Amino acid sequence: MPESRCLQGIWSSPWIFIFAASGSAVGLGNIWKFPYLIGENGGGAFLLIYCACLLLVGLPILMAEVALGRTVRSNPIDTINDLSERRVIHRFWVVVPWIAGLTGFLILTFYSVIAGWSIGYFERAISGDFVNISQADAASMFDRLLASPGEMLLWNSIFVGLVVLTVGQSVTRGLAALVRILLPVLIVVMLILAGFSLEEGEALEAIHFLFRWSWQDITFGVVLSAIGHALFSLSVGMGAMFAYGAYMSKRMSIARACSAVVAIDLIVSVLACLVIFPLAFAFHIDLDSGPSLAFVSLPIIFGSLPAGQLIGGFFFLLLVIAALTSAISMLELFVAWLHEKFYIARFKAALLLGGAIWFVGIAVLLSFNHWDRKVLFGLNFFELLDQLTSLIMLPLGAILLSVLVAWFIPRTVLRNEMITRQVSHFKIWYGVLKYISIPVLIVITVAGWIGV
Ligand code: PHE
């Protein structure tokens, strides 16, 4: 198929896919969520299981998703429709991109609230609110933010506005340039912060916690949350990578590109732990304090740094941009579909979806204060959306998508798409996907659901 067939354009250079996909992968999941998941799930054991999930489940499925996107060069919904009309696959599979798109949509409703907190913290950092802040003050600063829906709504509106403005443009143009600068700068800043934190905090305790292993820590629940997070962190299972794969040059090896994305994603997640844990130990911050972990410990770090006001502001700005490049990819599936199917201008489509996300976001931010009520299964609305998407919808989307690729798309189509010079590489990927990734994902997900 000629490169020009794709309506949204093609990444201008083969390498740009790596940047754009890493921009989607690296986000709040790495810096905000990963450290508290490790904290809640017992440290090293979780890290090891997580790495295994990345390699055995995340990477093969990521490759499957990208390959499928590149095969047809259209948005995920039309791709599957097209394949079913040509009777390559059954009509049932049309549910897959819809589940994927809906998952992305639901995630974005709370993702943008958390990204809004980061904007709020950017403002606090540059106004010097962190200077010499104590642990108690940092905790109450975060509590005050959660208690004020008005402020959260302001930041959330700004973030959703930014998402609409950026995704309203063509992602194949500006996005890559942004991520190309963002990623290296983010990694360097995090390296500096990790160095500081290890020097000033309890480095030994932190490293011991991060790499300790204990069989007791391993339960199906822990493995399920590791798998769920591996999918979330790689942006797999909701059509984002599918959409980006459609814009990928045929000259790029999918295996190489996806491995690079996984490596970058893991590096940023581990760095986030090395920034947060040493100081969290030094200041006796509970590692299993959940979503507040990063927002309580980071201000303390910046507050005690010599140029903390500037570095803190810069860090939260980078975090907002990282969240933005992830959020864009969550909306890309529907925006591209509305654009290609109904010829709705990208900006209008983005505005429509952004409005709906903003609206549901109001319920999410109220669930931290006025509406902090258990809605279902003892969870409030935010927790419900978080668990529903990362423990049920994401694994389900990923299972369906990989079963579709592994068992229903003709092998020759995939073989041509992978364009690897070594036949053995293709065979390894195909075998791992079919006989390891899919069974493991199904067993762990179902076991986690029934609470084994
Ligand atoms: N991978 C992103 C993160 O870790 C979140 C994301 C999920 C982005 C799904 C796109 C799709 O922050």
* Pocket flag, ligand 1, residue 121 (CB < 6 Å): no
Residue type, 409: I
235, 385, 386, 389: which to mutate for ligand 1, most atoms within 8 A of CB?
Answer: 235
Task: Retrieve residue 6's tokens.
Answer: 């794709």
CA angle, corner 88, sides to 86 and 240, nearest 5?
95
Ligand 1 pocket residue status of 101, Cβ below 6 Å? no
pLDDT over 80 (residue 322): yes
Q: Which residue has the higher pLDDT, 6 or 223?
A: 223
The pick from 186, 329, 331 for probing ligand 1's pocket by mutation, whose C-beta has the most ligand atoms within 8 angstroms, reads 329
397-441 pLDDT, tens digit per residue, is 999 999 998 998 888 878 777 755 566 788 899 999 999 999 999
Specify whether the CB–CB gap between 346 and 339 falls below 8 A.
Answer: yes
Residue having the nearest C-alpha atom to atom 11 of ligand 1? 235
**Residue 373: its pLDDT value, please?**
80
Q: Which amino acid is at 89?
A: I
Q: Whose CA is nearest to atom 7 of ligand 1?
A: 235
Predicted local confidence at residue 3, as pLDDT: 45
254-313 pLDDT tens trace: 888 999 999 999 999 999 999 999 988 988 888 888 888 889 988 988 898 788 888 889
Mean pLDDT, residues 25-40 taken together: 93
Nearest to 309 by CA among 32, 115, 123: 123
User: Residues 132, 352: contact at Cβ < 8 Å?
Assistant: no
Please answer whether residues 86 and 268 qualify as being in contact, where contact means their C-beta atoms are separated by less than 8 angstroms. Answer: no
> What pLDDT shows up at residue 420?
56
